[in-house]
A and B are shown apart, each in its own frame.
Chain A
């Protein structure tokens, strides 16, 4: 198994870099960017809660905790992370199984489990663990090797197992997102494009059949997406009210704490899924585009890390993590603007929620570890 076994000699030498040197290699500008995004979240949650007590204070606390976690992970040697990627993947799948057996039911789906005070959504964690495992799998693989169909069967299974488990919850949105993240890693790892074409074609044929097996609320989401006005008080209500809130914000917004749609509870779940709407209503197009800009910078940074990295593991990891963040942001904003069907996808670092914050910061920690250890040399694979 290539990529899982390392030269002990190289590992020890790299540790010699010392914690201090590593600390200085942390991309502090990026940390500042994350703080800015989290600050936006604080402001928005302050407004959503009508004060700091309801959401904003907790959000700040969680972000602080997340920062510590992120910086700690940033110091962990990337090769060590690569070595334990499998373990992480196994834990992720285990939790997914656990959530199916003992999870708490929300909206007809089993999605989270209680770990002490924390509500963990294993599907969120799984996305990161999947990226890790796939990066580890493709780390050593040469162009020729990736072209081999047999070589692709294990990673395909690695993607399909958690996706199947998530769909079983059932959580269509996260399932699809997980599959897309896997697909992104496959793509940059060098899997031949015609294989993607075949997969996409197959999905295109299977989708109508799959539609019949969707739950009613999932079908409702799709049909109301196609025509939200058809059911203005039912499933279409959220989309319509969100669009009203966004649109009424105009160019400059109604002002901090002045959003009528949000404060009069016309906005559903304004502290989680619809937090972006809240921002756009109170701060207008200018505010909304600024937030979108900040999040674009975050995703962009992930790609920059990937380009600067000198090992394939780091590159794949960084792109996978970046795509994860991208999909969060895109799906969330597309959802609240009525561009795609509604699905419970939070806005990273801004939406209220401990589990999402934890996994997001875990992901950024891994990303930073890639950045800190961008020059780390993995020993030659034991052939």
Chain B
């Protein structure tokens, strides 16, 4: 130790400075570490809960499992809307080294178009590499076999099965069953299921009405995912509820047979008069509902909407027609209820009724002579009903029509069904026009402002036949559980005296079965049973007096101006089970075009249902004695 004194002092001096400053520095560093400690405390202890939630959100991903859509069955259990397995080839990009090469090999096995390849490559680029991309849908069995055999040469290709909606009856039941399509924005009702790719919702018919039941509830899997969204493992699985099967009251075979009989513009409704079940509802033309499944092309859509025969519209529920003479029973019942006429009252028909300057013609120019109510129906005497209508007034006619389901919402499970129109004084006034007596007279024979659907006419007939306020419906059971009103007693009485109703039925019996009846030619062949009915024909265009006087013939009119032909019927007469309405657009006359079709319809129905299709009718319902002759 030979350091000098000055050196030592110097050393002590700078050591002092060092020590002070190093302590300050060290304390500063300690303080900063303390800051980190408090920072950790705040993050991990005070805000820990919040961050735990965020971490869970990061980690978890719920995926929905789409439930199989319920089937739609006909009344015999035949599937009319089902699910077809859709075998698809998918490509998982990360499982192959060269997407292009795999696709090249694939297209040698199952040919791919260039635009398909472009679409696949675009999808591959857009998605993460572990997300499957559809290569080809709707593979045939043979294609699948070829893919499986060549699997070693097709890295990344896997076969997967999804479902697609299948309509085995095609266009025959399209209007009833409806169709499914990908959900639109307005369909989003909060059900997360609808956000799944490939899901379909009912867009029309029963598919739409029972969409919730058919859809089922989605199951869910809770998955743990990593930062890029790859599934690490399944944490929890909740099975969904499959869609429920909906059984229709419609008989697919009958429907098919009826559609085979009719031409464009014709509709037929067959109901079980006892409980309102619709057995068939045919409308021509129709469409193939499965087209909507894959998406409708612009050309197809143009084709449908420009077609004047309106294939997308169910004429049985949405076609609006004046009822013509098929309405006469309603007028008669209104008259009886109002006590302005009795069944035996005779009205003289000279072939026309004059009201001031206006002459209202009977269809029978020669006149029917003296006519009572039963004969009035049988012969469809216009003058008789002009007179009754004149006495009873339009509002009471309209009220009676509403009781028979005309111009009211029948609440059938077919969305978009028309309500129709039965005019009243108030309705006319709301239009700013006055209702005059001439209008009442015209409306007494079912002409004028009426807008009624074939379904409403069939309902009217069923109510005439049974006296009960049956409502038409197409659903028989959901998941095996019967729905409303399968028994006759489920429906309330119309409150119309049985005596009056029986008179109407007798009149309708006479129409078909008595010489002079307007549809005598259309009575049922012997052993099947007895049909009662009523013809009707409605002018599409007003016929002027001059035309009439020049010896006008409706046959000379162009087709779209010819009158519509209508017929309503029920059978068997003694014990009504079936109610039928037939509308043949531009069919000229009810007796000529519609009645024979109704007869053929009932022949078909009796052949199909040798045993009655539904529970036996209530005893009180029967018409005990035969018709008076």
Instruction: With both chains docked as a complex, state the minimum distance between the C-beta of A63 and any C-beta of chain B, in angstroms.
Output: 23
Q: Do B228 and A265 touch across chains, with their CB atoms under 8 A apart?
A: yes
A264 and chain B: residue at smallest CB distance = B226
Please determine whether B59 and A142 come into contact, CB atoms closer than 8 angstroms. Answer: no
- Residues of B within 8 Å of A142, CB to CB, are 10, 13-14
If the complex has contacts A187-B21, A380-B7, are A244 and B55 also in contact, measured as CB distance less than 8 A? yes
Task: Tell yes or no: B430 within 8 A of A by CB.
Answer: no
Stretch in A33-41, A113-121, A148-156, A288-296 touching the partner: A288-296
Q: Would you call A250 and B36 a contact (CB within 8 A)?
A: no
> Chain A residues with Cβ under 8 A from B225's Cβ?
264
B224 with A292: CB separation less than 8 A: no
Cβ-neighbour of B51 out of A247, A263, A289, A323 (below 8 A):
A247
Specify which chain B residues have a CB less than 8 angstroms from the CB of A265 in the assembled complex.
Answer: 226-228
Q: Which chain B residue lies CB-closest to A311?
A: B11
- Give CA–CA (A247, B51) in the complex, Å: 5
B:1-39 near A, CB below 8 Å: 1-4, 7, 10-11, 13-15, 17-19, 21-22, 25-26, 29-30, 32-33, 35-37, 39
Q: How far is the CB of A277 from chain B (nearest CB, A)?
A: 10
- Whether B18 contacts A266 by the Cβ 8 Å rule is no
* Chain B, Cβ-Cβ closest to A326: B29
Other-chain residue from B30, B32, B41, B58 in contact with A260 (beta carbon distance below 8 A): B58
- B-facing mask of A306-344, CB < 8 A → 1, else 0? 110000100110010011001001100110010100000
Contact surface of A with B, Cβ cutoff 8 Å: 141-143, 146, 184, 187-190, 241, 243-251, 260-261, 263-266, 280, 284-285, 288-289, 292, 295-296, 299-300, 303, 306-307, 312, 315-316, 319, 322-323, 326, 329-330, 333-334, 337, 339, 377, 380
Q: Of B14, B30, B43, B56, which contacts A337 at CB under 8 A?
A: B43
Q: How far is the CA of A266 from the CA of B39 in the complex (A)?
A: 21
Residues of A within 8 A of B41 (CB): 285
B150 within 8 A of A: no
Contact A188 B58 (CB under 8 A): no
C-alpha gap A288/B33 in the complex (Å): 12
List the B residue with the shortest CB-CB distance to A377.
Answer: B1
Among candidates A250, A319, A330, A380, residue contacting B45 with C-beta atoms closer than 8 Å: A250
On whether A280 and B40 interact (CB within 8 A), knowing A142-B10, A247-B48, A380-B3, the answer reads yes
Taking a contact as CB atoms under 8 Å apart, the answer to whether B29 and A299 are in contact is yes
Further contacts, 14 of them, CB under 8 A, given A289-B40, A339-B35: A184-B25, A190-B18, A247-B48, A248-B54, A260-B58, A264-B224, A266-B58, A312-B14, A316-B18, A319-B25, A330-B29, A330-B36, A377-B1, A380-B4
Asked whether B365 is an interface residue with its Cβ less than 8 Å from the other chain, the reply is: no
The answer, yes or no, to whether B359 is at the interface (CB within 8 Å) is no
**Residue B305, interface by CB 8 Å:** no
Residues of B within 8 A of A261 (CB): 55, 58-59
User: A339 and B39: CB pair below 8 A?
Assistant: yes
Docked CA distance A312–B50 (Å) = 51
A99, B500: Cα distance in complex, Å = 111
**B45–A251 contact, CB under 8 A?**
yes
Contacts A246-B40, A247-B50, A264-B224 given: A306-B22 contact, CB under 8 Å?
A: yes
Q: Which of A245, A285, A300, A326 contacts B40 (CB 8 A)?
A: A285
Given contacts A142-B14, A184-B25, contact A246 B44 (CB under 8 A): yes
Contact A312-B40, Cβ < 8 Å, known A251-B45, A323-B29? no
Report the nearest B residue to A316, measured CB to CB.
Answer: B18
Docked-complex contact B44 and A188, CB < 8 angstroms: no
Given contacts A143-B17, A187-B25, A190-B21, contact A292 B33 (CB under 8 A): yes
Q: How far is it, in angstroms, between the C-alpha of A308 and the C-alpha of B21 when the chains are bound?
A: 15
Main SS of the interface on chain A?
A: helix
A326 to B19, CA, bound (A): 18
Question: Can you report 26 residue pairs joining A to B where beta carbons are below 8 Å apart?
Answer: A142-B10, A143-B10, A143-B17, A190-B17, A190-B18, A244-B51, A244-B58, A247-B51, A247-B52, A247-B55, A248-B56, A250-B44, A250-B48, A250-B52, A263-B226, A264-B225, A264-B226, A266-B226, A289-B37, A296-B30, A296-B33, A312-B18, A315-B18, A326-B32, A330-B33, A333-B36
Cβ–Cβ < 8 Å partners of A190 in chain B = 14, 17-18, 21
Chain A residues lying within 8 Å of B234, measured Cβ to Cβ, are none
Tell yes or no: B47 within 8 A of A by CB. Answer: yes
CA distance A190 to B14 in the complex (A): 7
B298 is an interface residue with CB less than 8 A from chain A: no
In angstroms, Cα B28 to Cα A303, docked, is 12
Is there contact, CB below 8 Å, between B29 and A249?
no
- Bound together, the chains give a CA A304 to CA B35 distance in angstroms of 22
Q: Please tell me if B184 contacts chain A, counting CB pairs below 8 Å.
A: no
Q: Which residue of chain B has its CB nearest to the CB of A327? A: B29
Asked if residues A260 and B59 are in contact (CB atoms below 8 Å), the reply is: yes
**Given the contacts A326-B29, A330-B29, A247 and B47 also touching, CB distance less than 8 Å:** yes
The docked-state distance in angstroms from the alpha carbon of A192 to that of B342 is 129
C-alpha gap A189/B18 in the complex (Å): 6
The answer to whether residues A307 and B22 also contact, given A292-B33, A296-B33 and a CB cut-off of 8 A, is yes
Contact present for B224 and A285 (CB under 8 Å): no
B149 CB–A CB distance under 8 Å: no
**Residue B232 is within 8 A (CB to CB) of chain A in the complex:** yes
Interface centre among B25, B45, B55, B228 (most CB of A within 10 A): B55
Q: A380–B56 Cα gap in the complex (Å)?
A: 66
Contact bitstring B239-276, A, C-beta under 8 A = 1, else 0: 00000000000000000000000000000000000000
How far, in whole Å, are A323 and B32 apart by their CA atoms in the complex? Answer: 12
Give Cα distance in the complex from A304 to B600, angstroms. Answer: 113
- Most chain A beta-carbon contacts within 10 A, residue among B37, B51, B225: B51
Q: Are B44 and A339 in contact (CB under 8 A)?
A: no
B58 and A143 form a contact (CB under 8 A)? no
Residues in B with CB closer than 8 Å to A284 are 44
A303, B55: Cβ atoms closer than 8 Å: no
Chain A residues positioned under 8 Å from B224 (CB to CB)? 260, 264
